[in-house]
Homo-oligomer: A and B are copies of this chain.
């Protein structure tokens, strides 16, 4: 008999090579496979296979460009916290769908606690922030209250690859 399998069908165990690949591609997602292989110390073909496996298993959710909101006409950012009256499942899902579709929404988080949703949005001006909240958020019947905080600065954190 083989020993018990990893209970997770996806996400095969991540070894040191995989972690090094993830670190490198987090820093520079367009690094060539050749450079990546050299950096992590495996053959190019091996490296290419690892990356493919990491993408197919979803460990790498995607490789994408990060666009500076200010450079495309949205210099103001805000955190908007949304409270709901009804936690009815259909209402929550429907609102979630609406929130992610708001132009300028960067991310939408459904949370447990004081609030129900926390949004990060980027807008052209404070006036447009007000319009956005009134039109897309408080207008929804399930929303009882929003609290908005102007963003001074966003910084990426240390990320997910450090020590557990």
Contact = CB atoms under 8 A, between A and B. Distances in A.
A40 interface: no
A44 to B, nearest CB: 16
Contacts of A164: 73-74, 103, 124, 128
Given A124-B164, A157-B102, A157-B119, A112 B68 contact: no
A115 B115 CA distance: 14
A113 interface: yes
A66 B58 CA distance: 10
Contacts of A104: 157-158, 160, 162
A11 interface: yes
Interface centre among A60, A72, A150 (most CB of B within 10 A): A72
Contacts of A74: 160, 164
A138 interface: no
B149 A67 contact: no
A135 interface: no
A122 B160 contact: yes
A154 interface: yes
28 contacts: A22-B65, A59-B67, A59-B71, A60-B66, A60-B68, A61-B67, A61-B68, A63-B64, A69-B160, A72-B161, A73-B164, A99-B157, A100-B157, A104-B158, A104-B160, A104-B162, A107-B154, A107-B155, A107-B157, A108-B157, A109-B120, A109-B151, A109-B153, A109-B154, A109-B155, A112-B152, A113-B149, A128-B164
